Chain A
Amino acid sequence: MSEKRPSVRSTLRKYGENTSAHGIPRAVTTKSLPRRLFWTCLFLASFSYFLYQAQTLVNKYLVYPVNTDVKIEWSELEFPAVTICNANPLRYRELIKRGSAAFQNAGFIPKPQPQGQNNPNSNGSTPATGSTTVATAPTTTQNSTSDEDDDDYDYDGYHGDFEMVNSFMGLLVQLTASMRQSLGHQGRDFIQECQFDGRTCSHRNFTTFEDSTYGNCFTFNKDKDGEVLHTATSAGPLHGLSLILYIEQDEYIPAIAEKAGARVVIHNPYVFPFPESEGFDAAPGFLTSAGLRLTSITRLGGVYGNCTNGQGRHLLYPQMYSQQNCLATCHQEHMVEICGCADVTFLQPNGTEFCNSSKSVVDCEEKVKQRLGNGNLTCQCPISCMDRIYRKAIGLSEWPADSYVSTVLNKLKTKRRGPGTGILDDRDEFKKNLLKLNIYYEALNYETITESPAYEVENLLGDLGGQLGLWVGMSCLSAMELLEFLVDIAIILWKKMSNREKTTSRNNVVNVAETGKIGTSNGHTIPIHMTEVM
């Protein structure tokens, strides 16, 4: 502002001489034209290379990369929830006694003889009737499939077993919940012995729920209000959960229960279990031991990755968010929306009806599955931000050992609701009906996997600043200098404009300088005028 009359050229020169950006002063102050050209080109080249680098850096930042840290920690651990189900959903004898005609028509239970004499005898002769049903009852379905035995795999016909299971589930959901629970295997029969951390427990420590495939299932150490979860203070089988289960094989439904044993799910106590998709099987006559190792995963979420803590989500199944739960909910919602009825393999949403097994509904069901599979129907089900994974080392050994049989027998015989002498006295029956399960931590150390932002805004700015400094020696303040320079230019132009107007309106020249002065002192307000003009 030392000059009397700032012109555009002089402002430009002044900026060029005084700017803190490197290279520009050289170009401005030098007298030789080639040098000026050289420096100008150099500055422009450097600046454009910086822009290119800046773009790469911003792109890198916008990917929001994460670092994954794996740590081994050690502490007292919450024991996982253990859910056990009998492989058979309903007790056969109960079903015969109380089942509806629908079950008879589908061939799951024998039709009563015309004489009506069968009923009083049914209790005693179940094994016999059971075997006859296998042979006679499902003939309708067997006939249809046996012709196609040699068929290649083809998408249009269902396998007989698949149809059988589906029709059974369809019948099952028509019973009331309390009826289903009472028809299913009971916790006090199923769980003969329970031991946790060296202490006795019983079926009362288990929470019952109903699974569409496995009937009554029992969960140990489920998260309930007002109850503290059990913790493991020590590793090894002696400090884990140890169960003797009685699977009641003579109660198995001949047409549907193909395997004998128990289904076991080891899961996060806060999350609902899905025995059919997540569990493993334990066979009778064996001790199945599962040594656990915990991996606890925390994801960042937000911009860093797609995960959710489940807030504000509507879920079909109780307890906390899990991806499985969300997918089931989503599937059922699509079913209700498209087919107008609820899939029998999932819980029934309020105010809907279960699908029947008519052709159109089955086709619709198939269509929904296919569209979900190929992404035509979408489910917004990201993984959950906090996850616990239990790695299992499962091993089998024979149980009970020959010499231990008598010890087990004595223990079970004193029970009021034990398996009964019929089973206990026959070694073969015993091995077919009882199993032991040991679930324990292999070690109390666990792996934590956490995510942390790998490239944060301060790293981006640091890199940008570094690049800017490296190539053109500029800073933010240099950029502000540029801004100031632009403002100056704007003022000068504005003055010139008004000057011209004034000369045309024959105003005197002295006033111009005054307005100029006022203009510069009010440097901050002027640009606003300018933008308005533009």
Chain B
Amino acid sequence: MDEKTGSILGTLRDYGENTSAHGIPRAVTTTSVPRRLFWTCLFLASFSYFCSQAYDLVNKYIDYPVTTDIKIQWSELEFPAVTVCNANPLRFSMLQRLGDEAGLGFQNAGFIPRQAQNAQSNINRGEMPIFNGRPNQQAQATTTPTTAVPTTTTEETTTPGYSSTADYEDYDYDYDDPHEDFRTVNTFVGLIANLNTSTRQAIGHQARDFIQECQFNGKACSPKNFSVFTDPTYGNCFTFNKASSNATPHSATSAGPLNGLSLILYIEQEEYIPSLTEKAGARVVVHSPSRWPFPEFEGFDAAPGFLTSAGLRLTSITRLGERYSECTDGEGYELLYPGTYTQTNCLVTCYQGHMVSECGCADPSQKVPDNTTICAVTSTNVACKERVTRQIATGVLSCACPASCSDKVYGKAIGLSEWPADSYLSKLLGKLGTKRAGRGPGAAVLADTDRFRRNLLKLNIYYEALNYEQISESPGYEVENLLGDLGGQLGLWVGMSLLSAMEVVEIFADLFAILCKKISSKEMKSSNKKVEVAPIHKKSVFELENPALTANGKT
């Protein structure tokens, strides 16, 4: 500002000499042209390099990276909910006793014997009507089938024939023909979906039969501590330690099997549906108390005659959410199953929603929403279901189901041992024998060791340790990191700061003021008012904020 006349060149030179940005004063003050060129180039090069670095930094920030911290913590832990289901969905004896309309479907599908035609169905097996179940041999089913129908299996099959691969009725894997077992299961699921809930619960396995002994944290518990729900695949399932509004969930005070949940289950193999239930045992799901279990997807099996022990390790996962990672706390989601938000719950809801909108009916293998019909097992429905599943999987039909923001994962170490030990058997029999009539397995099962082992199992679920892994996310690169890096880079390359940038703003304002003055002075010259030009100049320098107004006022 020491120059008398505010010429553009003068202002620029003034800025160049005094700016706090490095390099520019050098370029301005030097008298040698090569040096000026050198400094100008250097400044521009530095500045453009800074720009490219700044671009990278901003990009990095916009990615919103997270750092994942893993900590081992120790505290009293909430005991997980344990859901147990019998591998068999409905009791065979109760199914046979169903009323006519309901029972007819099961009869037609071959799940329960038709009263008259028992013997005949065996012969026509090969023809396979569209949805036939299996030939009915329930009479023999519970006993060992020592005499079976002789078939065409010949001795030849046991001899090795490694040269002959072609002689043989095998089919290649092909997409058009559903497997027989698959159809059987689907047919059955479709049939039971048509029964009302109370009937299904009544004809399923009952808690007081299924759960013979219950022990938690050294204290006795009973079937009353379990809440029941009906699963489309496994029928009645029983959940221990489910979260409810009026009871706080149990917590584990120490590790080890003695402080966990210990169950003796009676699976009632006599009640298994012969043509449907292939495996015998119990299905077990260990899950967070507040969420809904999906036994078919998530569980593991426990076999009769064994003690299955599952040692648990908790991993608690917390995600940041929002722009850092895609997750939701479930607010605003309308879910098919009760309980807190889980990705599986959301996906099932989404799938069922697409089924209803695409096929016009609900898939019976999941919970059926209100006011919708259940898909009958027709070929169009099956094809439609197939299409919906595929389209969801490939993303044609979308499901907005992010992961849950806080998650509890139970790592399981599952082991088997024979149960009961030979010498323990008598003690166990004594214990179970004292149960009230109709509640215990009954004398017939208890008397026969083989039958006992095929019908009872023990389950131990406990924490291996009360320490748990906590995985949490924290922002990896926040705005203060970005500013720090930007400032550092700016300082490193051109020695500038935010205030240097303000100097640039200042010079633009100055230049603008000068331009305005020039214009106004030109106009004044043309109107021959020379005398007033000088004061206007001086004034405008001090009224930088409003040079336009000043100029206007004078004209």
Q: Counting chain A CB atoms within 10 Å of each CB, which of B177, B305, B327, B393 scores highest? A: B393
Q: Is the CB of A523 within 8 A of B22?
A: no
Partner of B325, one of A71, A182, A242, A465: A71
- Residue of A whose beta carbon sits closest to that of B317: A70
Q: Is the CB of B29 within 8 A of A18?
A: yes
CA distance A75 to B53 in the complex (A): 36
Instruction: Mark interface residues in B265-278 (1 if CB within 8 Å of A CB, else 0).
Output: 00001101111111
Contact A401-B279, Cβ < 8 Å, known A443-B344, A477-B22, A524-B34 = yes
Q: Does A261 contact B (CB under 8 A)?
A: no
B488, chain A: closest CB distance, angstroms? 3
Q: Does A403 contact B (CB under 8 A)?
A: yes
Instruction: Name the A residues within 8 Å of B92 (CB-CB).
Output: 403
Q: Does B46 contact A (CB under 8 A)?
A: yes
A456, chain B: closest CB distance, angstroms? 7
Instruction: Name the A residues within 8 Å of B185 (CB-CB).
Output: 238
Instruction: Name the A residues within 8 Å of B301 (CB-CB).
Output: 287, 289, 395-397
Q: Does B26 contact A (CB under 8 A)?
A: yes
Q: Is the CB of B394 within 8 A of A20?
A: no
Q: Is the CB of B272 within 8 A of A406?
A: no
Stretch binding the partner chain, chosen from B141-149, B197-205, B373-381: B141-149
Q: Is the CB of B151 within 8 A of A94?
A: no
Q: Is the CB of A202 within 8 A of B125?
A: no
B419, chain A: closest CB distance, angstroms? 13
Partner of B168, one of A235, A417, A481: A417
Interface residues of B in 223-239 (CB under 8 A from A): none
CA distance A484 to B39 in the complex (A): 10
Q: Does A148 contact B (CB under 8 A)?
A: no
Contact A69-B68, Cβ < 8 Å, known A398-B304, A524-B38 = yes
- Residue of B whose beta carbon sits closest to that of A400: B278
CA distance A520 to B30 in the complex (A): 12
Q: Counting chain A CB atoms within 10 Å of each CB, which of B43, B177, B492 scores highest? A: B492
Contact A462-B484, Cβ < 8 Å, known A182-B160, A393-B412, A420-B158 = yes
Q: Is the CB of A20 within 8 A of B495?
A: yes
Instruction: Mark interface residues in A153-196 (1 if CB within 8 Å of B CB, else 0).
Output: 00000000000000000000000000001100010110000111
CA distance A420 to B151 in the complex (A): 9
Q: Is the CB of A467 within 8 A of B65?
A: no
Q: Is the CB of B170 within 8 A of A188?
A: yes
Q: Is the CB of A199 within 8 A of B182?
A: yes
CA distance A454 to B60 in the complex (A): 10
CA distance A123 to B500 in the complex (A): 98
Instruction: Name the A residues within 8 Å of B148 (CB-CB).
Output: 406, 409, 413, 421, 424-425
Stretch binding the partner chain, chosen from A303-311, A347-355, A468-476, A506-514: A468-476
CA distance A68 to B145 in the complex (A): 58
Contact A401-B488, Cβ < 8 Å, known A74-B401, A242-B181 = no
Q: Is the CB of A478 within 8 A of B296?
A: no
Q: Is the CB of A67 within 8 A of B347?
A: no
Q: Does B57 contact A (CB under 8 A)?
A: yes
Partner of B173, one of A68, A76, A202: A202
User: How many of B's residues come within 8 Å of A, CB to CB?
Assistant: 130
CA distance A71 to B319 in the complex (A): 9
Instruction: Name the A residues within 8 Å of B390 (CB-CB).
Output: 233
Q: Is the CB of A410 within 8 A of B46?
A: no
Contact A291-B298, Cβ < 8 Å, known A410-B134, A456-B60 = yes
Q: Does B165 contact A (CB under 8 A)?
A: yes
Instruction: Name the B residues within 8 Å of A445 (CB-CB).
Output: 343-344, 403
A452, chain B: closest CB distance, angstroms? 6
CA distance A465 to B53 in the complex (A): 12
Interface residues of B in 151-169 (CB under 8 A from A): 151-153, 155, 157-158, 160, 162, 165, 167-169
Instruction: Name the A residues within 8 Å of B141 (CB-CB).
Output: 402-406
Q: Is the CB of A420 within 8 A of B182?
A: no
Q: Is the CB of B300 within 8 A of A458?
A: no
Q: Is the CB of B488 within 8 A of A469?
A: yes
Partner of A393, one of B35, B137, B300: B300
A433, chain B: closest CB distance, angstroms? 12
Q: Does B338 contact A (CB under 8 A)?
A: no
Instruction: Name the A residues within 8 Å of B269 (CB-CB).
Output: 401-403
Instruction: Name the B residues within 8 Å of A395 (CB-CB).
Output: 284, 299-302, 308, 414
- Residue of A whose beta carbon sits closest to that of B484: A466
Q: Is the CB of A415 within 8 A of B153?
A: yes
Contact A199-B175, Cβ < 8 Å, known A67-B67, A69-B66, A402-B280 = yes
Instruction: Name the A residues within 8 Å of B553 (CB-CB).
Output: none
Q: Is the CB of A476 within 8 A of B46?
A: yes
Q: Counting chain A CB atoms within 10 Å of each CB, which of B34, B279, B305, B485 scores highest? A: B279
Interface residues of B in 351-387 (CB under 8 A from A): none
Q: Is the CB of A195 within 8 A of B181?
A: yes
Partner of A417, one of B157, B272, B308: B157
Instruction: Name the B residues within 8 Å of A409 (CB-CB).
Output: 145, 148
Q: Does B174 contact A (CB under 8 A)?
A: yes
- Residue of A whose beta carbon sits closest to that of B26: A481
Q: Is the CB of A188 within 8 A of B393?
A: no
Q: Is the CB of B125 within 8 A of A410?
A: yes
CA distance A196 to B92 in the complex (A): 28
Instruction: Name the A residues within 8 Å of B81 (CB-CB).
Output: none
Q: Is the CB of A196 within 8 A of B173?
A: yes
Instruction: Name the A residues within 8 Å of B182 (CB-CB).
Output: 195, 198-199, 238
CA distance A478 to B454 in the complex (A): 86
Q: Does B544 contact A (CB under 8 A)?
A: no
Q: Counting chain B CB atoms within 10 Å of each CB, which of A231, A464, A477 scores highest? A: A477
Instruction: Mark interface residues in A413-438 (1 if CB within 8 Å of B CB, else 0).
Output: 11111101110110100000000100
CA distance A393 to B72 in the complex (A): 23
Residues of chain B having any CB pair with chain A under 8 Å: 20, 22-23, 25-26, 29-32, 34-35, 38-39, 42-43, 46, 53, 56-57, 60, 65-68, 87-88, 92, 125-126, 134-135, 137-138, 140-142, 144-153, 155, 157-158, 160, 162, 165, 167-175, 177-182, 185, 269-270, 272-282, 284, 296-306, 308, 325-327, 343-344, 347, 389-390, 392-395, 399, 401-403, 412, 414, 416, 454, 471, 476, 484-497
Beyond A236-B296, A289-B300, A424-B153, list 14 extra A-B contacts (CB 8 Å): A20-B25, A67-B476, A188-B170, A189-B157, A204-B170, A287-B278, A397-B282, A398-B279, A403-B141, A406-B141, A416-B168, A458-B57, A462-B492, A465-B488
Residues of chain A having any CB pair with chain B under 8 Å: 1-2, 18, 20, 67-72, 74-76, 91, 93-94, 181-182, 186, 188-189, 194-196, 198-205, 231-238, 242, 286-287, 289, 291, 393-411, 413-418, 420-422, 424-425, 427, 436, 442-445, 452, 454, 456, 458-459, 461-469, 473-478, 480-481, 484, 520-521, 523-524
Interface CB pairs A-B, < 8 A, 23: A18-B26, A69-B68, A94-B160, A199-B182, A205-B172, A238-B185, A397-B301, A398-B454, A400-B278, A401-B272, A403-B269, A403-B274, A404-B272, A414-B125, A414-B151, A420-B157, A421-B150, A425-B147, A468-B488, A469-B492, A475-B495, A477-B495, A523-B38
The 6 nearest A-B residue pairs measured at CB: A465-B492, A462-B485, A466-B488, A397-B281, A475-B495, A395-B300
